[in-house]
Amino acid sequence: MSPNPSEGSVFKRILRLPATRAPDDDGCWVYSAGRVLIDLSRAHELSVPGGALRLEGGELPFRVLVMTGADRRVHAFRNHCSHQGRRLDPIEGGRGVCCCSWRHSTYDLVGQVRSGPATGPLTVCPVQRIDGRLVVTLQCRTFVRSAAQALDSQPLRFFV
């Protein structure tokens, strides 16, 4: 069941805890060379609009939220609200994405801000479906640009 920010746990939001969990089957995904590969047969969370996976840790260069939208497409975002970097959850039914914080910003399925104090769009990661697998590419233009600014515009080579 997808989280509903308007009915979500006040306790969780005060503590800034996301409703989206790590995958039930942690072996459903692997990360390699700038890409996340997800075996759809093992990722039941993505079978319904509003279902999502929270991927983080290991070799991943940043946290990733993968979700099925109301448009029945799978979307992936850097899991980092542009306000203060809190984690994200799908809006009920997959109509967009919202921040898990008390002041939850909301975004549409292409990462544009819809409400709240967010200062810019989400970083969107391209998703391809290939033979029962999803390939999420972490070559995210927004992330590279903001990271480059943080490092005084030095060239970055995070992803090959």
Q: Which residues bind ligand FES (CB under 6 A)?
A: 81, 83-84, 86, 99, 101, 103-105, 116-118
Q: State which residue, 29 or 143, has the beta carbon closest to ligand FES.
A: 143
> How far, in Å, CA of 67 to CA of 52, rounded?
4
Q: State which residue, 23 or 106, has the beta carbon closest to ligand FES.
A: 106
- Work out how close the CB of 23 gets to ligand FES at its nearest, in angstroms, rounded to a whole number: 23
- Work out how close the CB of 88 gets to ligand FES at its nearest, in angstroms, rounded to a whole number: 8
* Residues 45/51, Cβ–Cβ less than 8 Å: yes
Q: State which residue, 20 or 101, has the beta carbon closest to ligand FES.
A: 101
> What does 107-156 look like in DSSP terms, one character per residue?
E-TTS-EEESS--SPPPEE-EEEETTEEEEE---HHHHHHHHHHTTT---
- Work out how close the CB of 154 gets to ligand FES at its nearest, in angstroms, rounded to a whole number: 27
* Residues 94/131, Cβ–Cβ less than 8 Å: no
